[in-house]
Amino acid sequence: MQRGKPKNRMLDYWVGIPLLNALGIFRRRRIVPSRVQRIGVLCSPALGDTLLLSGPLQDLRAALPDAHIVHICTLQNLAAAEIIPGADERLLVNLTSVARTIRQIRAQRFDVLLDFSVWQRLTAFYTMLSGAKFTVGFDTSGQHRSRGYDRVVKHSPERHELENLRSLLAGSGLVPPIRSPHQPAVTISRFTSEPFEGETDPVIFHPWASGKHARLREWPEERWVALAQRLEEDSTTFFITGAPSDLPRIKQLVDLMRSAGLRAEPFASQDGFFSLTRLLRRARVVVSVNTGVMHLAAIEGSPTVALNGPTAECRWGARGPCVLNVQPADGSGGYLHLGFEFKGQPEDIMERITVDQVVEACESLTASYIGPEYAVSGRC
């Protein structure tokens, strides 16, 4: 169920709400089982949301080290699920294959199922029919999806999504209060190849967002070229990253940069996030629009400058040990809450972010960077 597809959302809304309410009429809320051995974790299929789940997933693992944790994921977020620590296994499902998904989840015989998704009625439906002894999910304003959970946690538009995810775990009654929550993290196999290992000063640009309104979260191509000209040093190579489906646009931007006398290379990882993560770890700086790769760079420790236009920094900005978030200086933008509230909003928000702003952020971040223990604010 993708938030970028209006048809899916309409079906989820008009069918999901009455169905959940009908099923919830005679449902009694239960208490946490005295013995919890098997835990299911379900979240939005979006890559960024999945990467943010890394922190709560580690918190859950630390609190219940002997429990068997299963991360229920889809093909959409498998690349992210593969590299976040905490789960013992992943269960791959197709959310649109209803009968098969119900059978797969029920076969797990979960003691507890935690649904970290926010607006989808379909995931709430699967949680209700999961056969789990105890379920937890969000009550999100206007989404009418919480009636079937055993325990409900309020989702807030006033805090970052990472903190919302942590609030669900804290409010589940499953674990004691967590005083020192883990920083979200990623893990990659030591056997993963090292791309472009001869490059000594890689700078990474990730210009592409995803979803129906992706263009409204992207920066003009000519500004990426101007930014590169300002950041270039003697040994700098600029890597333009994206999904394999972005290759035509990647190559177009690479050609523009090369025509401006810059060293530039395309990089579309063919092994999910594994090779990309290795490249990110070696970067002098990563500049990205607000998308899954931005979250990946931030949480794995790369110096990361995030370009936030329609996406509110306080809700979805980069969070990590070395990040700076940039938004339009005029204070505009930041209207996205659940990710699809574009109607009636201005379409030029990203164009209001200037090259000077981004250069200043890059120079400030890299000048102060002394290793993964360093942190900059960027927080609400």
Average pLDDT over residues 114-120: 95
Per-residue pLDDT, 370? 46
Asked if the domains at 6-171 and 201-368 fall in one CATH topology, the answer is: yes
Average pLDDT over residues 8-33: 75
Question: What are the domain boundaries of the chain?
Answer: 6-171, 201-368
Length of the chain: 380
Is 90 exceeded by the pLDDT of residue 39? yes
Average pLDDT over residues 280-309: 95
CATH class of the 6-171 domain in this structure: alpha beta
Q: Residues 6 or more apart from 214 whose CB is under 8 A from it? A: 4, 208
Per-residue pLDDT, 11? 67
Average pLDDT over residues 80-91: 95
Average pLDDT over residues 338-344: 86
pLDDT in tens, 143-153: 889 889 999 99
pLDDT in tens, 168-217: 999 999 887 776 677 778 887 655 678 888 889 999 999 999 877 889 99
Tell me which fold the domain 201-368 belongs to.
Rossmann fold (3.40.50)
Q: Name the phi and psi angles at 141, rounded to 5.
A: -55, 130
Is 60 exceeded by the pLDDT of residue 377? no
Is 80 exceeded by the pLDDT of residue 17? no
